[in-house]
Amino acid sequence: MSATPAILTLLTAAALVGAYLALTGLLPRRRGETRFCRKCGYNLTGNTSGRCPECGGRLGWRRTVAVGESRRRPRRTVVGILLMVPALAAATLLGVVHAKGIDLYQRLPARLLAYDMRAADPRTADRASRELRRRMRTAQLTRAQLDLIVSSCLDAAGETAPDTVTQRRFVNLLGDLCRTGKLNPAQAQRFLRQTVRRLRIETRPTLLLGHQCPVVVYHERRLPSHPPHVSVTAKEVRVDGRVVSHPNRRLWEPDYHDLRRFRSMLWVDLEEAGKHTLAVDVEVAVYANAMARDRGAAPLHQRIETLEVPVEVLAEAPPRYITFQTSPELDAQIASRVSIWRIESRERKGYGAVDGARVEVDFLPGLPVDVALEVLVEVEGKSYFLGTVSASRENPKVQRRVVESKFTPPLPDDVTVLLRATSRAAERTLNMYRIWGGALRYTKLRLWSP
- pLDDT by residue for the chain (450 residues), tens digit each? 355 677 778 888 888 888 888 888 777 767 676 777 877 877 777 677 777 887 877 776 667 777 767 677 788 888 888 888 888 888 887 777 767 666 667 778 888 888 888 777 778 888 888 888 888 888 888 888 888 888 888 887 776 666 677 778 888 888 988 988 889 999 999 999 999 999 999 999 999 998 889 999 999 998 898 899 999 999 999 999 999 999 898 888 887 667 788 989 899 999 899 999 999 999 999 999 889 888 889 999 999 999 999 999 999 988 888 999 999 999 999 999 999 999 988 765 444 444 678 899 999 999 999 999 999 998 888 888 999 999 999 888 888 888 888 777 778 888 899 999 999 999 999 989 999 999 999 998 888 876
Closest by CA position to 422, among listed 328, 324, 347:
324
- High-pLDDT (> 90) share of the chain, %: 37
Cβ–Cβ < 8 Å for 402, 264: no
**Measured distance CA(344)–CA(377) in Å, rounded:** 11
Domain 323-446, what architecture?
Answer: Sandwich (2.60)
Angle at the Cα of 288 (from 284 to 292), degrees rounded to 5?
95
- What contacts 304, CB < 8 A, 6 or more positions away? 235, 281, 282, 283, 284
Q: What is the third-level CATH fold of 196-314?
A: Immunoglobulin-like (2.60.40)
**Measured distance CA(34)–CA(37) in Å, rounded:** 10
Confidence (pTM): 0.71
Residue 4 pLDDT: 61
Spell out a b/e string for 333-372, using b for 16 or more CB atoms within 10 Å of the CB, else e. bbeebbebeebbbbeeeeeeeebbbbbbbbbeeebebbbb
Q: For the segment 23-63, what is each residue's pLDDT rounded down to a tens digit?
A: 887 777 676 767 778 778 777 776 777 778 878 777 766 67
Q: For the segment 341-375, what is each residue's pLDDT rounded down to a tens digit?
A: 999 887 654 444 446 788 999 999 999 999 999 99
DSSP state of 51: B
Cβ–Cβ < 8 Å for 33, 21: no
DSSP state of 209: T
Burial of 53 (0-12, 13-18, 19+ CB in 10 A): exposed
